[in-house]
Amino acid sequence: MTTAPSDLFDLPPVRLKPKANARAIRHGYPWVYADDLVNDRRTRALPPGAVTVLQDGDRRPLGLVAVNPQSRIICRMLDRDPAARIDEEWFAARLTRALDLRAHLFDAPFYRLVHAEADGLPGVVIDRFGDTCVIQPNAAWAEARLEALTAALIRVTGARVVLKNASGRARALEGLDDISGVLHGTAPAAAVPVPMNGATYMADLTGGQKTGLFYDQRPNHAFAARLAAGGAQVLDVFSHVGGFALAALAGGAGAALSVDGSAAALELARKGAEAGGMADRFATRQGDAFDVMAALAVEGERFDMVICDPPAFAPSKQALDAGLRAYERVARLAAPLVAPGGFLGLCSCSHAADLSRFRAACIRGIGRAGRQGQILHTGFAGPDHPTHPQLAESGYLKALFFRL
């Protein structure tokens, strides 16, 4: 479905309440919450994903927005030009700009191509795996215009395969389904090898987590690999497909143990180790991460470096307190496994837990384990995950490296 100019005349504009902060929108804030919009009968009747003009309290146009009356984020800014046409050409212009940035950053086409609001496509995530792209249309407006987005993506990147990934909490909040599928071409029959930081990762693009691989940790993997050089013994907890473990081995670690609850993810990690010629230095252990760390401590195991990269324990403000307790527990269980003078890496992908709260939880956990340390490095997502200047949620990833 493509929005034609006539749509703007067919649909009524939406308007901010008089006391709403129109200045924030003018200065670049991309969202309008339901409490800040005049939510009258005409607005409530708009279909999810409708595109129309946003006005301030004095009925002056602020830009073109996508509206979803079913979502707490009722409007997402698409274009400051209220007469813009959201069609294939519009998508192609946004995608070209995103691709130009990644072409400056990476030698090979393996990266996050579109990082939602930060790349001017609200709610849209696109990860690229060579000639295959995986789209997560996490907002109703993008779902409704998926055909135009896909056509533009093929045109701009030359992708032979385009997949849709419909997993994730964000789609449910938008009232969307969880049905993934193939939008163009034929889905890969096997995991796709992805070169990164000297290692090879195996990405399951149809059955794995999210889009198949987490590109965001790339610079933090590289930093961990530097610390592991010279034969370090490495423990990678919540490892997924071998994230930190394989990077550490590529950087010169002596051995690495990956811990994860998913047998399928660990099998992909093993295949990645084999592809990189590291299988003789790599081992896996399946089980609940907390239980495995407790068992390793009882067994007297110690490592030169321990990395914990758990899922989002605080995906919302309502889950923040419980999430911070979970991060503290991770640090408390991981710290005793680090040999004296060794390194501990702790990560969070929870946007609700900001850096200061996450750091405080980690320090409490380390202290309650009877350890002390220096913070060596604070890491964030790579530059293919740019941060929207007015949207803290787009800078969700934090990584702290300690020397204990």
pLDDT at 1: 40
If we measure between CA atoms, which residue out of 350, 293, 292, 290 comes closest to residue 321? 350
Q: How far apart are CA 373 and CA 154, in angstroms?
A: 49
63 DSSP β-pair partners: 54
Q: What's 125's domain CATH number?
A: 3.30.750.80
Q: Do 172 and 74 sit in the same domain of this protein?
A: no
Q: Do 120 and 61 sit in the same domain of this protein?
A: no
If we measure between CA atoms, which residue out of 41, 3, 36, 1 comes closest to residue 20? 36
pLDDT at 5 over 70: no
Confidence of residue 210 (pLDDT cuts 50, 70, 90): confident
pLDDT at 10: 62
Convert the pLDDT of each residue in 282-301 to its tens digit: 999 999 999 999 999 999 99
Q: Residue 390 is inside which H or E element, if any? A: none
Q: Which of 184, 206, 221 finishes a domain?
A: 184
Q: Average of pLDDT values for 47-57?
A: 96
State whether residue 130 is helix, strand or coil.
Answer: coil
Give percent of the chain above pLDDT 90.
92
Which residue in the block uniquely carries the two structure tokens 């110690």? 302
Q: Do 203 and 336 sit in the same domain of this protein?
A: yes
pLDDT at 4: 42
For residue 276, the number of C-alpha atoms closer than 13 Å in the C-beta half-sphere is 30
pLDDT at 40 over 80: yes
Average pLDDT over the chain, rounded to an integer: 95
pLDDT at 168: 79
Query: In terms of C-beta density within 10 A (0-12 exposed, 13-18 middle, 19 or more buried), how is residue 103 classed?
Result: exposed
Query: What's CA 160's distance to the chain center, in Å?
Result: 24
Query: In terms of C-beta density within 10 A (0-12 exposed, 13-18 middle, 19 or more buried), how is residue 223 classed?
Result: buried
Domain tally, the chain: 3
Confidence of residue 208 (pLDDT cuts 50, 70, 90): confident
Q: Do 220 and 352 sit in the same domain of this protein?
A: yes
Q: How far apart are CA 289 and CA 45, in angstroms?
A: 47
pLDDT at 212: 84
Q: Which of 184, 216, 245 finishes a domain?
A: 184
Q: Do 98 and 147 sit in the same domain of this protein?
A: yes
Q: How far apart are CA 208 and CA 187, in angstroms?
A: 13
Convert the pLDDT of each residue in 183-196 to its tens digit: 999 999 999 999 99
Q: Do 139 and 280 sit in the same domain of this protein?
A: no
Q: Average of pLDDT values for 104-111?
A: 97
pLDDT at 393: 82
pLDDT at 11: 83
- For residue 88, the one-letter residue type is E
What is 5-43 written as a DSSP string? HHHHHHSPPEEB-TTS-HHHHHTT--EEEGGGB---HHH
Note down the domain range covering 39.
Answer: 5-79
Q: How far apart are CA 78 and CA 63, in angstroms?
A: 8
Q: Residue 321 is inside which H or E element, if any? A: helix 320-334
Q: Average of pLDDT values for 358-375?
A: 97
Q: How far apart are CA 165 and CA 401, in angstroms?
A: 32
Contacts of 242 by beta carbon, 8 Å cutoff, 6+ apart = 199, 201, 236, 258, 268, 269, 270, 272, 273, 282
pLDDT at 136: 96
Convert the pLDDT of each residue in 134-186 to its tens digit: 999 999 999 999 999 999 999 999 999 999 999 978 899 899 999 999 999 99
DSSP conformational letter for 90? H
Q: Do 379 and 312 sit in the same domain of this protein?
A: yes
Q: Which of 153, 184, 215 finishes a domain?
A: 184
pLDDT at 9: 47
Convert the pLDDT of each residue in 221-276 to its tens digit: 999 999 999 999 999 999 999 999 999 999 999 999 999 999 999 999 999 999 99
Q: What's 230's domain CATH number?
A: 3.40.50.150
Give start and end residues of each alpha helix (H) in 229-319: 243-250, 263-275, 289-298
Q: What's 31's domain CATH number?
A: 2.30.130.10
State whether residue 377 is helix, strand or coil.
Answer: strand
Convert the pLDDT of each residue in 311-356 to its tens digit: 999 988 899 999 999 999 999 999 999 999 999 999 999 989 999 9
Q: Do 134 and 63 sit in the same domain of this protein?
A: no
Q: Do 157 and 205 sit in the same domain of this protein?
A: no
If we measure between CA atoms, which residue out of 302, 309, 310, 308 comes closest to residue 233? 302
Q: Do 46 and 143 sit in the same domain of this protein?
A: no
Q: Average of pLDDT values for 36-51?
A: 94
pLDDT at 215 over 70: yes
pLDDT at 188: 95
Which residues are known to be catalytic? 349
Q: Do 271 and 372 sit in the same domain of this protein?
A: yes
Q: Do 151 and 26 sit in the same domain of this protein?
A: no
